[in-house]
Structure 1
Amino acid sequence: MPTKLKKTIRLTAGIVALTALGWSPLKGQSIQRVEPLNWWVGMENPTVQLVIYGPQIGKSEVQVDDKGVELIQVNRVENPNYLFLDLKISASAKPGWSTFTFSQGKKKWTYRYELKQRNQGVKAQGVNSKDLIYLIMPDRFANGNKANDRVKGMLDQSLNRDSMYLRHGGDLEGVINKLDYLQDLGVTSVWMTPVLTNDMPLASYHGYANTETYHIDPRFGSNETYVQLGEQLHKRRMKLIFDVVPNHIGSFHWTVKDKPMADWLNEWPSYTQTSYKDQTIFDPYASAADKKKMVKGWFVPTMPDMNQQNPYVQNYLTQSHIWWIETAGIDGFRIDTYPYNDLDFMAQWTDRIQREYPQFTFFGETWVHGVANQAYFLGGKHVGQEVDSKLMGVTDFQLNYAIGDALNQKTEWTAGANKLYSTLASDYQYPQPEWNVLFLDNHDKDRFFSVVGENIQKYKSAMAWLLTTRGIPQLYYGAEILMKNFSNPDGLLREDFQGGFAGDKNDKFTASGRTEAEQDMWTFVRTLANYRKQHAVLQSGKTMQYVPEDGIYVYFRYNEQQTVMVIMNCNDQEMEVKLDRFAERNAKATGYVDVISQQGLKLVDNKVKLAAYETKVLDLKF
């Protein structure tokens, strides 16, 4: 937040000029913040906890002059600059302004707080296996408004597209401008890395160290711009995913610079970093000290760990996430660093959100090793969890590892195609495997085109697998045009999408700006993504897979109306596949349509030939 604004009352939705509020100035006394910025009538949960912040505000007495609002409790905490007010909004309350009277001795002043009518637009639809998610780092995607490239007063004033760690200028308007491109590609949901204000001195572009809870980073746009993005997506029958980070905040967050209480954060006598050992959470032999270090250690020095066992922290986090759903019509959450959160809190958090939005969905980042490790963080208690986290889906790192092995390793029993088969065979450990999010790469992982040695045929096979197997597929921006690089350092994974910025030599958003290979790959992705979008069999159809033989992996997606056969050749040579073995699913087929080429062919001698590393997606005809 700009320094100038820190010295004044923040003017936001629900707050108007001081004179209009009837505010009476007191020497050394002001209300600098009220969060949430507003609330709504008609919520399922009638209570809300306001954070009031200002010099010595905690010494004040408070009254509320509104028949529809009951002040249940005034909570004074260690820091006298804070008050936490517990309110109950009656079912008969009307949208409008509630007047709060603060007094210290004979001095009084008033403050008005807005209660709004609930958002009647499209919202909280949930994201499911019908969707194709497109992941964007907004700073690196497209610059739609050069006027916000630098914002006066913010700590990070960098703007240098030649540096992988400085800001490049992409923003929300840039994303809005490219929605037609995404819709044409077959994308149905947009997930952006965090867009809240990150007023950090260095590397503020990635968003994972927010310093504001209720404000979009002004270098990305405004709250209103974000609302507009949601509206534009919903007009296209697309969805908006918000990247939430309940585990930590930035070290320059206003509640860190002036903490409400000593246990607002998980703090140690000296800096203590998490062990990154998820095993300690479920290890029956783990020490209490190791468990504590995993969950309460800091992710990095600039990201203080939130104490999710503190009830004030719990309310602060949960209410902010509900606020964004209601304000912007968000449809689903991606939850950052899920294993590092307190699972009891996350279960409560999930219940409170779904009480308001029953169709809302969540998927958590679980960068762990092993299906059982990954499954442990899901709801349902399928693998002996002590806590039912209520989490619906995870980012499926295990299948991410497996698809790389399938195309890069020899086809031995524990590697190659067998790794892909055996990983999927472990789906019994998941309550609902179709809720897991599949991906080839993301903002932290090597670009998959580089993982397969820039072999186009391998890459197409991986993409075909991504868009035909069970779960919710996710594309990382630029995957469709062969963007590449390894994560050493991670800035290499986060290059600009060429054509999104003024001065770019080529516009990769258009066919004329792509190379022949890029256009071929883009067409491949678009064809398969739109086929998936139009055919329920690849969204919610059943799956049957066969044990790989000779480096050939075969699986089917099927329902009562349609059967799709996927044949993956994991060998570095052409292979001929006899289809008799798969009679359980294809015995009555008379021919097929190759989904990519759109060619319809009859089965000849019940055989199919595949080039080295080729994957065929066949719509069987009966």
Structure 2
Amino acid sequence: MHNKELQILCYGKNLSKYDVAIDGITINKITKTENPNYLFITIDTKGMKAGTVSINFKEKGEVVLSQPYEFKIRKENSAKRKGFDSSDVMYLIMPDRFANGDSSNDSHKNTTEKVNRSNPGGRHGGDIKGIIDHLSYLKDLGVTALWSTPLLEDNEPAYSYHTYAQSDLYRIDPRYGTNNDYRRLASEMHKLDMKLIMDYVTNHWGSKHWMIQDLPTKDWIHQWPEGFKRSNYRMTTQFDKNASQVDRKGCMDGWFDTTMPDMNQSNPLLLKYIIQNAIWWIEYADLDGFRVDTYSYNDKKAIAKWTKAIMEEYPNFNIVGEVWMHNQSQIAYWQKDSKIGAIDHYNSYLPSVMDFTLHDAIIEMFKEDKSEWSKGMIKAYDNFTNDFLYPDSNNILVFAGNHDTNRINEIYQENSNVYKMVMTLICTTRGIPQLYYGDEIGMLGNRDKNGDGDIRKDFPGGWIEDSKNAFLSSEIKNGRTINQEEYHSFTKKILNWRKNKPSVHKGKLLQFIPFDNVYVYFRYDDKESVMVIINNSLKDQKLDVARFKEGIKNYSVGTDIITDSNIDITEDFSVPAKTSMILDLK
């Protein structure tokens, strides 16, 4: 490993009273805390061979306990692994709601909450085997990377299906499967040339975590005199030079929820623990990236150390952080090498952030049919005018929705024409497109009216008792409905086309101010060019080709990959109302 220093956490009743020795290894440091049940052993692994050693606990010179500890062989070229990037299309699932491949683990003797599919906020039984069983569906759809919400154990007595209140950072929740099942998921995905992204949670653990039940140190978590104190959620306090200390502390140290104790990353023992845990999962499961939950709620200096440590081990890896803010400069602050962060003498070392301002625009602009100064497609244009704020605008996650937002097809009332315009934008603009499971078949959900369970419904066909199976074509009995097929076929077409378009992956973006609510932009490099047209007006619109000569250059024909038709782009042509075109220029 790049970092040779290893911290081994040992836990047991009154363990700190013993002397410790490790066969053939020099111990650099032993750290004891106010809790006698913990010992933290620091060793230097430089030159160490793979194999199993014994950690011996002694009393009066006699060994009273011997614990085997294994050093494993790294995968060849592990440090050079390549993470997800803008050539990928990321698909987000909630494993409990995607597919139930093994009904025998729906409930488990070692976890409290049992399966209850009739409860929108309960456990429904989806699992890792269900994901593996449907990798061919994702491959066929055109997906190249999978982001699953957390799969680690969450032993809360209720509402545990989202798994963000984790009770063991080294164990897959048994209702999803085993650690080996997770490894197999990564292996099967790699066979299909797909990437696996772990949803990693640094800001909080679950109230039932075994270390929360018996804290190593009082400052392992942020504690308040009044007991529970919820975060004020004002992430702006992290960089506001005028912010009061009480407000800054209220954001960083307040708890995200009652069942989610806020972790104190500034505690060096805890920070080392989560750095090593993250690296362990990368090595163990052969991961291709992290999505970090609530990134900007962490102690910002400590989370930068966490991120930097991982990226030093894996220079080509990728980590995208959830920075849910509504201003590009505030989001850009958190990306690696930000000039905005530099004003504050801060570098997060975070390669990628999520484009929440584009999401904000998407859920409004397609309702705005008329061309006005600040409404309609100008919102998309304006979003990208601020790309100068980002150190790497191509390493940004772009999306129409996720597990915390209302379904895009609910927002636009099952309007497939709008869905197609949204997907056109997401899949052809700069950045890394991300889909939310079920959007490609028109799934609906409104959390404001019906709670989170409504935007996290089961994928139809993921359970053996389902009457309809949306994993299957509409041509197959009980497969997708005709309406679902319309959404799916469009998504499949555009995603699979995108796989082989370097100009869309890494090319430049050239955009034109929208007129008549028609947004035109080009993605191009030295070898190819793509012209994208989104007509968000209620009328067919004729394009003045001369205006776009800068992008069209010497090309004369555009093949619309949506309709498979060729268009003469040397003359003005019409774009139907509420439609989009993606023209491969020739």
Q: Same fold (TM over 0.5)?
A: yes
Output the amino acid matched with 2:14. Q
Question: Is 1:583 matched with 2:549?
Answer: yes
Q: Which residue of 2 aligns with 1:138?
A: 95
Q: Which residue of 1 aligns with 2:513?
A: 547
Superposition pairs of residues 376-391 of structure 1, within 5 angstroms: 376-383=333-340, 384-391=343-350
Output the amino acid matched with 1:607. D
Q: CA deviation at 1:520?
A: 1.6
Question: Is 1:520 matched with 2:482?
Answer: no
Output the amino acid matched with 1:245. V
- Stretch deviating more after TM superposition (594-603 or 52-61): 594-603
* Aligned counterpart for 2:32 among listed residues 67, 72, 76: 76
Cα distance in 2 for residues equivalent to 1:139 and 1:61: 45
Question: Is 1:118 matched with 2:74?
Answer: yes
Structure 1 unaligned residues grouped into runs of 5+: 1-42
Q: Which residue of 1 aligns with 2:4?
A: 46
Cα distance in 1 for residues equivalent to 2:182 and 2:318: 20
Question: Is 1:398 matched with 2:357?
Answer: yes
Q: CA deviation at 1:608?
A: 2.5
Output the amino acid matched with 1:211. S
Q: CA deviation at 1:96?
A: 1.0
- Stretch deviating more after TM superposition (517-526 or 248-257): 517-526
Cα distance in 1 for residues equivalent to 2:220 and 2:159: 25
Output the amino acid matched with 2:192. R
Would the alpha carbon gap of residues 390 and 443 (structure 1) be closer, same or farther in structure 2, given more than 3 Å must change?
A: same
Cα distance in 2 for residues equivalent to 1:90 and 1:583: 60
Output the amino acid matched with 2:575. L
Q: CA deviation at 1:122?
A: 6.8
Query: Does structure 1 conserve the Cα–Cα contact (< 8 Å) formed by 2:142 and 2:495?
Result: yes
Cα distance in 1 for residues equivalent to 2:558 and 2:268: 59
Question: Is 1:609 matched with 2:569?
Answer: no
Q: CA deviation at 1:517?
A: 1.9
Cα distance in 2 for residues equivalent to 1:213 and 1:104: 31
Superposition pairs of residues 47-446 of structure 1, within 5 angstroms: 47-66=5-24, 69-91=25-47, 93-105=48-60, 107-108=62-63, 109-120=65-76, 124-157=81-114, 159-270=115-226, 271-383=228-340, 384-409=343-368, 410-446=370-406
1:491-535 deviation line (CA, Å, top 9, x unaligned) = 101001111111100110011311112112111111110111011
Output the amino acid matched with 1:402. A
Cα distance in 2 for residues equivalent to 1:132 and 1:268: 42
- Stretch deviating more after TM superposition (610-619 or 545-554): 610-619
Output the amino acid matched with 1:452. Y
Aligned length: 574
Output the amino acid matched with 2:510. M
Q: Which residue of 2 aligns with 1:447?
A: 407
Question: Root-mean-square deviation (CA), in Å?
Answer: 1.3
Query: Does structure 1 conserve the Cα–Cα contact (< 8 Å) formed by 2:407 and 2:455?
Result: yes
Q: Which residue of 2 aligns with 1:27?
A: none
Output the amino acid matched with 1:57. L
Superposition pairs of residues 440-479 of structure 1, within 5 angstroms: 440-479=400-439
Q: CA deviation at 1:588?
A: 2.3
Q: CA deviation at 1:70?
A: 2.0
Residue 534 of structure 1 aligns to a residue in which SS? coil
Query: Does structure 2 conserve the Cα–Cα contact (< 8 Å) formed by 1:364 and 1:391?
Result: yes
Question: Is 1:505 matched with 2:495?
Answer: no
Query: Does structure 2 conserve the Cα–Cα contact (< 8 Å) formed by 1:122 and 1:234?
Result: no
Would the alpha carbon gap of residues 526 and 176 (structure 1) be closer, same or farther in structure 2, given more than 3 Å must change?
A: same
Query: Does structure 1 conserve the Cα–Cα contact (< 8 Å) formed by 2:445 and 2:456?
Result: no
Query: Does structure 2 conserve the Cα–Cα contact (< 8 Å) formed by 1:439 and 1:466?
Result: yes
Cα distance in 1 for residues equivalent to 2:78 and 2:315: 14
Query: Does structure 2 conserve the Cα–Cα contact (< 8 Å) formed by 1:70 and 1:89?
Result: no
1:573-618 deviation line (CA, Å, top 9, x unaligned) = 22222221111111422221011122223347x2222222111111
Q: CA deviation at 1:153?
A: 3.1
Would the alpha carbon gap of residues 77 and 122 (structure 1) be closer, same or farther in structure 2, given more than 3 Å must change?
A: closer
Cα distance in 2 for residues equivalent to 1:236 and 1:395: 26
Residue 377 of structure 2 aligns to a residue in which SS? helix
Superposition pairs of residues 563-582 of structure 1, within 5 angstroms: 563-582=529-548
Q: CA deviation at 1:392?
A: 1.1
Q: CA deviation at 1:184?
A: 0.9
Query: Does structure 2 conserve the Cα–Cα contact (< 8 Å) formed by 1:376 and 1:385?
Result: no
Query: Does structure 2 conserve the Cα–Cα contact (< 8 Å) formed by 1:121 and 1:329?
Result: no
Query: Does structure 2 conserve the Cα–Cα contact (< 8 Å) formed by 1:333 and 1:363?
Result: yes
1:181-222 deviation line (CA, Å, top 9, x unaligned) = 101111100110000000111111101000001000000000
Residue 388 of structure 2 aligns to a residue in which SS? helix
Residue 454 of structure 1 aligns to a residue in which SS? coil
1:83-108 deviation line (CA, Å, top 9, x unaligned) = 001011131x2211111211123552
- Stretch deviating more after TM superposition (274-283 or 254-263): 274-283
Q: CA deviation at 1:349?
A: 1.1
Q: CA deviation at 1:453?
A: 2.3
Structure 2 unaligned residues grouped into runs of 5+: none
Identity %: 40
Output the amino acid matched with 2:197. I
Would the alpha carbon gap of residues 533 and 385 (structure 1) be closer, same or farther in structure 2, given more than 3 Å must change?
A: farther
Would the alpha carbon gap of residues 139 and 46 (structure 1) be closer, same or farther in structure 2, given more than 3 Å must change?
A: same
Cα distance in 2 for residues equivalent to 1:490 and 1:541: 37
Would the alpha carbon gap of residues 587 and 360 (structure 1) be closer, same or farther in structure 2, given more than 3 Å must change?
A: closer
- Stretch deviating more after TM superposition (276-285 or 248-257): 276-285
Query: Does structure 2 conserve the Cα–Cα contact (< 8 Å) formed by 1:119 and 1:327?
Result: no
Question: TM-score if structure 2 supplies the norm length?
Answer: 0.96
Residue 218 of structure 1 aligns to a residue in which SS? coil
Q: CA deviation at 1:302?
A: 0.6
1:305-361 deviation line (CA, Å, top 9, x unaligned) = 000110001011110000000000101100100110112112211221122211111
Query: Does structure 2 conserve the Cα–Cα contact (< 8 Å) formed by 1:132 and 1:189?
Result: yes
Cα distance in 2 for residues equivalent to 1:591 and 1:97: 65
Q: CA deviation at 1:454?
A: 1.7
Question: TM-score if structure 1 supplies the norm length?
Answer: 0.90
Output the amino acid matched with 2:489. T
Query: Does structure 1 conserve the Cα–Cα contact (< 8 Å) formed by 2:441 and 2:470?
Result: yes
Residue 394 of structure 2 aligns to a residue in which SS? helix
Residue 388 of structure 1 aligns to a residue in which SS? coil
